[in-house]
Chains A and B, each alone.
Chain A
Amino acid sequence: DIQMTQSPSSLPASLGERVTISCRASQGISNNLNWYQQKPDGTIKPLIYYTSNLQSGVPSRFSGSGSGTDYSLTISSLEPEDFAMYYCQQDASFPNTFGAGTKLELK
């Protein structure tokens, strides 16, 4: 199984700040990497698919990049609604696996 190592696990940040969350796969996943946001009520919102493609309706302050085994999600300027949990997921092979999550919290 491909292991996804996500960092940091917790990220204190301020409104307007630029932040980056990283995800490293245990082997190459050929850009088959997705990012999700989860709010405290459990709602999961897909943000980015195939490394860098913004899901419909997602604000342009979100962006994704990476290749091979290393990927990242960047939020260019934090808004109040961005403070949530974030997960990466590889769907290059089964079982699809998720990172352990990053809690983005207000500093």
Chain B
Amino acid sequence: EVQLVESGGGLVKPGSSLKLSCVASGFTFSSYGMHWIRQAPKKGLEWIALIYYDSSNKYYADSVKGRFTISRDNSKNTLYLEMNSLRSEDTAMYYCAKFGNYGSSWGQGVMVTVSS
């Protein structure tokens, strides 16, 4: 069974940094591209980043480009999202997700709150 477990969220001040992790199990992590998707309170879903299976390519939404960095460690089955220069509008639930030929799997999400 595919499992994705996010961690690392919390309450931080504007301008600070935070690094999220997503530990994967139940599939060959090193064979799949991985995504981060977020949802602000009472809002819809927003795709924010993708990393290829071998880290050869990374894509970002304009809203986070230059501030967020997606990375992975295939030896640890772990996906990361390093978030810098955080703003109040980054307050959201952050989900990691695996997409493949037979659909997707999502984690339960981790909450990030940016507030002074």
Majority DSSP secondary structure for residues of B touching A: strand
Number of interface residues of B (CB under 8 A): 20
CB–CB A87/B45 < 8 A: yes
Task: Tell me if A60 is interfacial: C-beta within 8 Å of chain B.
Answer: no
B38 to chain A, nearest CB (A): 11
Contacts A53-B103, A89-B45 hold; do A95 and B108 have CB atoms under 8 A apart? no
CB–CB B103/A95 < 8 A: no
Q: Can you give 12 contacting A-B residue pairs, CB < 8 Å?
A: A42-B93, A46-B105, A48-B103, A49-B104, A53-B103, A55-B103, A87-B45, A89-B45, A94-B59, A96-B35, A97-B47, A98-B47
Which residues on A are within 8 Å of B, measured CB to CB? 34, 36, 42-46, 48-49, 53, 55-56, 87, 89, 91, 94-101
Which residues on B are within 8 Å of A, measured CB to CB? 35, 39, 44-47, 50, 59, 61-62, 93, 95, 99, 102-106, 108-109
